[in-house]
Structure 1
Amino acid sequence: MSFTDPQSPASPPSLSRRTVAHGLAWTVPAVAAAAAAPAFAVSCANPAAFTGRFTQANVYGTPPSTYTWSAAGRTPITLSLNTVADSGKSLTPNNLTSAGGINQGYNGLGDLRADGLLLQQSGSGGQRLTITFSRPVTNLQFTIADVDWLRSRYRDAIVLDPEPTSVTNGPPLQGNGTTGSPVSAVSAGEVTSDTVANRSRVTYAGPINSFTLYFSSTDGTTAQQIFLTGLTFFAC
């Protein structure tokens, strides 16, 4: 999805988008870009499922650099965020805000209609977002939302390092998240952030301490954005 750039952090962004139909159903993923994740290795007899939220009280405040995921009876795990932009890439003031759950229903940042970490940029090249866990995790899963293509303006492309155990794409998407096969839209067409079909579900069997998401454009240099949402994992 595109937006008007540059933005002022003191006012909501004005998004330029093609009118699309909402409520696309996606019950069975059409593309499985890799084999399903195997049973994960653990260092304790009873690993727990950790959950958390990419959310903040005010979308126009300073983006958090850490988040906490928790599980009953276990020491919480801290997620530390760090992003590095290529020399030709401009990151907006809203980059890395957890904007998805704010102003839900508003046809702007909040139209993910769920908690989500926003990556928003323009220019050539891309940004490398690294998320580091305070201790190793297994069966890490997350969703990349709002992956689309507006011809000659931007084409979202996502590369993951290390290579994921599996990537399951919605029908409009392709790729397994590698340099030679980035996650991207198959054909041109801008969509809203809450379009479920234009999402990719990523799995790392682990154990894993960190991963890096490289977000760039392969067609044009105008403003673009994606969301990272639905992140869960197991740990001791």
Structure 2
Amino acid sequence: MSHPNPSSRRPELSRRALVTGAAWSVPLIAVASAAPVAAASGVCTQDAQLSWQNTFTATDTSNGVGTFTTPTGEVVTYTVTVATGPNIEVPATSDNLNTTGDGIFLGDRQTVAAANKEFDAAYTQTTTITFDRPLANISFRVFDVDGSDFYREHLRVIGLPGAVATPGNRVELEPVSNTYRPTADLPIGPVVAGSVTYSSTGSTDSFIVELTTPRTAVPPQGVLSHGVRMTNLTYTTACPAV
């Protein structure tokens, strides 16, 4: 997403998010847990959700910590850390790691113009989410993946066991870099965002979201130029004791 002028860390969607929101698939609904299911082993499990807005606090635009309680009463602490490639930055005045009911915002600013809009690790923002204990079957959606005549966003998620990525409209897999990118680059006015849904089938205590944003024109100093939003996380947990 092109994010031309966020000057403060307000819990708001971007301008284009408000305009094109109807084009996205419906975000995950923020509920505490879903109906329990008895597994083949006889162990009762259910889906629960981590709400970024209700559990996470950013200490700056590159770091933050959160705490939530599972339906069984376990307290889980997690951290979010952001690292950037040599040709991008996360300005201190930016909305990176800003949270809303829709999820958490991940964005950056280019400091060096790219030769083209193809994948380039020098323009990669790496966001690592780490939990103090493993979570099972994590799933979420990353939306607002797009491109225009002067930039293109490339998305990759690493560390989810047995992960299946399902691209939505206007997003495709680029097999060389193994990233998801928009199927077409449109002029900045009519850009319509795409999304990718990730579902895993195993347990992990950490995973990484990589956003690569080569841009052929450098934006003004301090302006966050591109970004995506990651929805609340769903995971599988044991049912609470009755």
1:149 partner SS: coil
Tell me if structure 1 keeps the 8 A contact 2:11–2:98.
Answer: no
Task: Give the corresponding residue for 1:204.
Answer: 200
1:122 partner SS: strand
Q: Residues 46 and 15 of structure 1: is their aligned pair in 2 closer, same or farther, counting only changes over 3 Å?
A: closer
What is the one-letter code of the residue matched to 1:183? Y
Say how many residue pairs are matched.
204
Q: Residues 75 and 148 of structure 1: is their aligned pair in 2 closer, same or farther, counting only changes over 3 Å?
A: same
- 1:225 aligned residue (227, 230, 238): 227
The residue correspondences of 1:169-208 to structure 2 (distance < 5 A) are 169-175=167-173, 180-189=177-186, 190=188, 198-208=194-204
Q: Residues 46 and 79 of structure 1: is their aligned pair in 2 closer, same or farther, counting only changes over 3 Å?
A: farther
The residue correspondences of 1:43-122 to structure 2 (distance < 5 A) are 45-55=43-53, 62=60, 65-93=64-92, 94-101=94-101, 114=102, 116-122=103-109
2:44 partner SS: coil
- 1:156 aligned residue (133, 153, 156): 153
State the distance in 2 between where 1:232 and 1:77 align: 14
Tell me if structure 2 keeps the 8 A contact 1:86–1:126.
Answer: yes
Tell me if structure 1 keeps the 8 A contact 2:154–2:212.
Answer: yes
| Pairwise CA distance, 1:226 | 0.5
| 4+ runs deviating over 4 angstroms | 10-22, 59-64, 190-193
2:177 partner SS: coil
1:23 partner SS: helix
Task: Give the corresponding residue for 1:215.
Answer: 211
Q: Percent identity at matched positions? A: 18
What is the one-letter code of the residue matched to 1:180? S
When normalised by structure 2's length, the TM-score is 0.68
Q: Residues 73 and 192 of structure 1: is their aligned pair in 2 closer, same or farther, counting only changes over 3 Å?
A: farther
C-alpha deviations, 1:30-67, integer Å up to 9, x for none?
xxxxxxxxxxx9x993344332211169x998567122
**Which one has the bigger strand percentage?**
2
When normalised by structure 1's length, the TM-score is 0.69
State the distance in 1 between where 2:204 and 2:47 align: 15
| Pairwise CA distance, 1:179 | 6.4
| Pairwise CA distance, 1:210 | 0.7
State the distance in 1 between where 2:76 and 2:190 align: 32
The residue correspondences of 1:19-38 to structure 2 (distance < 5 A) are 23-24=22-23, 26=25
Tell me if structure 1 keeps the 8 A contact 2:84–2:125.
Answer: yes
Q: Residues 204 and 192 of structure 1: is their aligned pair in 2 closer, same or farther, counting only changes over 3 Å?
A: farther
The residue correspondences of 1:117-156 to structure 2 (distance < 5 A) are 117-123=104-110, 125-152=123-150, 154-156=151-153
State the distance in 2 between where 1:10 and 1:204 align: 31
Tell me if structure 1 keeps the 8 A contact 2:146–2:182.
Answer: yes
Tell me if structure 1 keeps the 8 A contact 2:78–2:131.
Answer: yes
State the distance in 1 between where 2:173 and 2:16 align: 24
RMSD: 3.9
What is the one-letter code of the residue matched to 2:108? Q
